[in-house]
Amino acid sequence: MPDNQHEKIFLSDYKAFPWKVDRVDLTFKLSPKATRVLSRIAFRPDPAAPAAPFFLHGESVRLISAAIDGEPVSPDVTDRGLTCDVPDRPFLWEAEVEISPEENTALEGLYMSNGIFSTQCEAEGFRRITFYPDRPDVLARFRVRIESDLPVLLSNGNPVASGKGFAEWDDPWPKPAYLFALVAGDLQPVRDTFTTRSGREVDLAIWVRKGDEHKCAWGLESLKASMKWDEETYGREYQLDIFNIVAVSDFNAGAMENTGLNIFNSALVLASPETATDAEFERIEGVIAHEYFHNWTGNRVTCRDWFQLSLKEGLTVYRDQQFTSDMRSAPVKRIEDALLLRARQFREDGGPLAHPVRPESFVEINNFYTLTVYEKGAEVVGMLKRLVGDNAWRAGCDLYFERHDGEAVTIEDWLAAFADTMGRDLEQFKRWYSQAGTPRLSVKEDWDGQTYKLTLTQSTPPTPGQSDKLPLVIPVAIGLLHPDGAEIVGTTMVEMSQETEVLTYDIADLCKRQGKDVARPVPSLLRGFSAPVIVEFERPTEENAFLLAHDTDPFNRWEAGRNLSREVLLKRAAGEEADDAHLVKGISSVLRDTHLDPAFKALVLGLPSEDDIAQGLHAAGKTPDPTAIHAAGEALRDRIAEELEPLLAKTFDENQVPGPYSPDAAAAGKRSLANRCLGLLSRRDDGARAAAQYDSADNMTLSLAALSALLNIGKGDAQLADFETKWRDDPLVMDKWFSLQVASAAPEDAATTADRLTGHPAFNWKNPNRFRSVFSPLANANPAGFHDPSGKAYELMADWLIRLDPVNPSIAARGSTAFDTWERYDTGRQEKMRAALQRILDTPNLSRDTREMVSRILGD
C-alpha cells in the first residue's frame, strides 16, 4: 500500500503481492538528463494471496503514459508510487516514464558515474527506474532493450541481439527487481573463461575505464577460484554462459550481486601491486567471492522480504569467510573476523542502534545493511554448522537449495532444512535471529584437588525495545591444559542451552592415566571464538602468559596475548599502575618461535584498538577518556619498541620478501609482520628504516606502511608530497593519501587536518569513496581525535553530514554512526555530541534515512 514518507514497516505485517508477474520487457532510451523507460509487464492475479489495491512503487519517476491491455489509464500517483483500477484477470501493463540519471546523486536506481550509466537497485532502487512491485518476493523474467550510442550496453543474463545504437538482453532466470542491472558507457573488457564441472564454458569479463585494464588480473583469478570453490565445497555450479563484472567509481556500497552482471565499487575490484595493498588484495578476493556466492545464496534462493536480509547476507558472508580461510590461513582469518566483529558489531550491539539479526521493523531498509545483519549473521550461520556438524551441514544446505531454488524464502525455511535433515528442533537456536545484544558468558571454576568444575552462566543485556532476554543455544569449545604445558582435555564442543551449566572433570583420573602429576588445569575457553559472546573470566596475568606460550588452539593463543595487552591498557587508561613484563616477554617469545606463521605473529604484535579499550572501560562501569586511552597506547608501543628493539630489527630483516611482488598469503604475512616491526622501530630510529623503505618500495603495501610509520612519529612531509605528485591521477590511491593523514594526525590536529583536506582540490565530496576517505578515519581510526575535548570534530562531522544528506542520504545516514557511542562518555563530550546530533535532526527536509538513524542514536 502507499505509505507515508516516514512510516515504520513491520515484519509482522507481511502480506504477499496479489499478482504474479509473468514477464517484464523494458526499453531504455538512454539520455543523461531525460532517459525514457518503457515497461511492458504481464500481471496475473494470484488467487493464493490476499486481495489488495493494485499498487506499484515509484519514486522520482515522471509518468508520461500508462495503459492496460492497450487502453490508456490514469493512475493515482503519489511520491511513493501509483494505484490504479485493474481488471480481475491477467493483463498487460504498459508505462512510459522519464528519469534523470545525471541528477541522481543518491546513487540508487539508474545514475551516472563519470560518464557511465550504472544501476544500484538493492534494496529499493528499482522503483527509481520505473513503476513496479519493487519487493523481493515478486520474481519475474526480464528482457531488456537498451538504446544508446555508447559503445558498451550491458544488462543481466544473455545477449540476444545487438546492432548500431542498441543491444538486447534476456535473463531466463526469474528474479526480483533488486537484482536488475544496466550499464552503458565507454568501457574496456578484460576477458577470461571458466569451464564448469559439467562442461559449460562461461565467458568472464571485467569491464573498466580505459587505462585500468592492468588492474583486472587479480579480480579474474579470484572469480575463477570462487567458481571452483563453490563447486567443490557446496556442489554449486553457475548457470549462465556469461559473467560480467563492472567497476564503477561512484558506488554507495562495496559491490552488488546482480545476476550475471555484478557491479563493483572500483576500490573493491581494481588492484595492481603498485596501487593496492596486501590487505586490499585479500579483501578484493573475498568480495569477488561474496558476490559470486550470492548467485546461489541470494539470487537463485532469495529473500521473501527485507527483514530476511541476513538469510542471504549472513550466509554469504559465512561462505566468503570459509573461502578465504581455505585460500589463506584459517586461524589468521578467524582472528581477523573476530577483530572486526568485536570492534564494530559488538559496538553496534551494545549501543542505541542495537537490533536483532532479523530486525522486526524499519523506516529505511538501507539503514539495516549493518554489521549485525552481515557479521553477526555470519556468526549465527557458523554456530549452526558447529552444532549440526560438517556432514549434516552439507546435507542441510543441499536440501535448502533443492527445496527453494527459484523461491523467495524466510529464516524459518532456512532452519527447517537443518531441522529436517537432523530430526532436531532448532526453535531455541532461532533466538539468535530475534534477540539483540551481545551475550555474556561468565565462567567460575572450582578445584578440590581431584575434581575440576567449570560453571558457565549466560546472560544478554537489555537492548532498545528488548528488556528481557531468554537463554540461547551457545556452542562453547573448551580445552584444558596441564600446568606442564600439555593438553589434558582436547577441544570439546559444549552445547550450552540453559542459563547455567556445570561441567565436571575428573582431573585426578585424567592426570594419572596420562602419567602426570595431579594439578589444577588451566582452561582454554571459547576456542576458535566458537560463539559471538563476551567471556567474563578473571584470569591471573600469569595464566594468560602461560596460554600465550602453550595453548594448542591458535585463536586462544592469540587471545591470551590480547588479554595481556588489554589488561595493561585498561588499567593505564583508567589511571592505574600496570605491569607489562609478561606482555613484553610473551611477545618476545612469539617473535622468536620459528614454528609460527608470520601473519599470526603480526596479529600478536597488534595492540587492541582505542575503541576496544573504551568499550571495555564502559562495560566495567568506568567513563573512558579517549585522550588517556590514546596516550596509554602510545606509551605501550614506545615501551615494546624500547624493550625489544634488537629482536624487532632482526624480525624486520628476516621478513623482507625478495623478488617480484605476489599477493599470496605467505608473502603478505611476512610483509605484514615486517611492517608491524617497522612501525615500532620507527619510534627508535627516527624513521630511518621507514624513509629507506619508502624510497625503495616497488609495491603499495611497502610504500604505504612506510609513509604511515613516518606520519605516526610526526615526520614524512616530504614523502607525503611525493606520494601526492606520484598518484594524483589515481583516485583509489589518492583515497589512501587522504585517509592516512586523518588517521595519523595527532588527536588535537585531527579535525583541523580533516577540515583542511576537505578544501583540497581533489576532495570531491559527492564521491562516496572520497567522502569516506576523510570522514571514516576521523570517526573510526582516530578516536582521540574525534573525541577531542574541544568538540571540533563533532562539529565538523555534523556540518558535513548535513551538507551530504540531501545529495546522498544513505551515505549521510551511515556516517551518523560516528556518534553512536555518545552515552559512554563524560557529560562534557555527551552534551557536545548530543548538540551535534540535534543540529542534524533539526535540519529542514532531512532525509528519512538520516532522520531514522539520528533518532535511534538519540534514543527517541
**What is the rounded CA–CA span in Å between residue 609 and residue 767?**
28
Q: What angle do CA 338, 346, 837 make, to 5 degrees?
A: 140
Q: How far is the CB of 120 from ligand ARG (least distance, A)?
A: 7
Helix, coil or strand: residue 505 = strand
Nearer Cβ to ligand ARG, position 377 or 586?
Answer: 377
- Whether the Cβ atoms of residue 793 and residue 785 lie closer than 8 Å to each other: yes
535 and 526 Cβ atoms separated by less than 8 Å: yes
Interaction site with ligand ARG (CB under 6 A)? 122-123, 253, 255-257, 290-291, 313, 366, 369
Choosing among Zn ion, ligand ARG, none, which partner's interface includes residue 369 (Cβ < 5 to 8 Å by kind)?
ligand ARG
Size of the site for Zn ion (CB under 5 A): 2
Task: Tell me whether residue 719 or residue 808 sits nearer to ligand ARG (CB atom).
Answer: 808
Q: Is residue 449 a contact partner of residue 507, using CB atoms and an 8 Å limit?
A: no
Q: Which is nearer to ligand ARG, 377 or 716 (CB)?
A: 377
Residue span 310-339 as binding mask against Zn ion, x where in contact by CB under 5 A, dash where not = ---x--x-----------------------
Residue closer to ligand ARG, measured from CB, 123 or 570 = 123
Q: Report in angstroms how near the CB of residue 378 gets to Zn ion at its nearest.
A: 10
Sign of the C-alpha dihedral, residues 63, 68, 72, 77? negative
CB atoms within 10 A of CB 258: 27
Do residues 426 and 418 touch, judged by C-beta distance below 8 A? yes
Residues between 341 and 380 that touch Zn ion (CB under 5 A): none
Task: Report cis status (omega within 30 of 0) of the bond before 67.
Answer: no
Instruction: State how beta strands 188-195 and 201-208 pair.
Output: antiparallel
366 makes contact, choosing from ligand ARG, Zn ion, none, with CB < 5 to 8 Å by partner type, with: ligand ARG
Least distance in angstroms from the C-beta of 316 to Zn ion: 5
Amino acid at 64: I
Measure the CA–CA gap between 802 and 846, rounded to whole angstroms: 8
* Residue 748, φ and ψ in degrees, nearest 5: -70, -15
Amino acid at 809: P
Minimum CB separation of residue 337 from ligand ARG in Å reads 16
Is-contact 303 309, C-beta < 8 A? yes
Give 89's DSSP letter: S
Annotated active-site residue 291? The verdict is: yes
- Residue 253 binds which of ligand ARG, Zn ion, none (CB < 5-8 A, kind-dependent): ligand ARG
Dist. CA 410–CA 393, nearest whole Å: 18
Cα separation, 344 vs 375, whole angstroms = 9
The nearer residue to ligand ARG, 119 or 275, going by C-beta atoms, is 119
Total residues belonging to the chain: 860
> Shortest approach of Zn ion to residue 131 CB, angstroms?
27
Our CB check for ligand ARG shows the closer of 122 and 543 to be: 122
Q: How far apart are CB 297 and ligand ARG at their closest, in Å?
A: 11
**Residue 563 in 3-state DSSP?**
helix
Detail the DSSP E strand segments found in 399-531. Answer: 407-409, 440-447, 451-459, 474-481, 487-496, 500-506, 522-524
The minimum distance between CB 460 and Zn ion, in angstroms, equals 27
Q: State the minimum distance, in angstroms, from the CB of residue 309 to ligand ARG.
A: 9
Between helices 411-422 and 309-327, what is the axis angle to 10°?
Answer: 60
Can you count the helices (H) and strands (E) in the chain?
30, 31
If the CB atoms of residues 181 and 253 are measured against ligand ARG, the closer one turns out to be 253
Between CA 807 and CA 599 the distance in angstroms is 41
Q: Which amino acid is at 361?
A: S
Q: Give the whole-angstrom CA distance, residue 814 versus residue 776.
A: 10
Task: Work out the angle between the directed axes of helices 688-696 and 665-685 (0-180°, nearest 10).
Answer: 140
Nearer to ligand ARG, 157 or 286 (CB): 286
User: Which lies closer to Zn ion via its Cβ, residue 814 or residue 829?
Assistant: 814
Minimum separation from the CB atom of position 184 to ligand ARG (A): 21
Question: Which residue type is seen at 627?
Answer: T
CA distance 645 to 682: 10
Q: In whole angstroms, how close is the CB of 298 to ligand ARG at the nearest point?
A: 7
Report whether 265 contacts 248 (CB < 8 A): yes
* Cell numbers describing residue 194: 571458466
Q: Which is nearer to ligand ARG, 369 or 800 (CB)?
A: 369
Q: How far is the CB of 111 from ligand ARG (least distance, A)?
A: 14
**Which C-beta is closer to ligand ARG: that of 410 or that of 563?**
410
Among Zn ion, ligand ARG, none, the one that 801 touches (CB under a kind-dependent 5 to 8 A) is none
> What is the 8-class DSSP label of residue 562?
H
Q: Exposed, middle or buried: residue 89 (CB in 10 Å: 0-12, 13-18, 19+)?
A: exposed
Instruction: Return the number of the residue (77 or 315) whose C-beta is nearest Zn ion.
Output: 315
Q: Which CB, 313 or 580, lies closer to Zn ion? A: 313
The interface with Zn ion within residues 259-318 (CB under 5 A) comprises: 313, 316
167 close to 153: Cβ distance less than 8 angstroms: yes
Sheet containing strand 76-77, edge to edge, reads: 54-57, 81-84, 76-77
First to last CA, the chain: 26
Tell me phi and psi for residue 222, to 5 degrees: -65, -40
Pick the catalytic residue from 257, 282, 285, 291: 291
- Report the distance separating Cα 849 and Cα 860, nearest Å: 15
Residue recorded with cell 560518464: 115
Give the C-alpha distances (Å, rounded to integers) separating 42 from 19, 90, 110, 138, 273. 10, 7, 23, 12, 50
What letter would DSSP give residue 466?
B
Known catalytic residues are 291
Question: Which stretches of the chain bind Zn ion, using CB under 5 A?
Answer: 313, 316
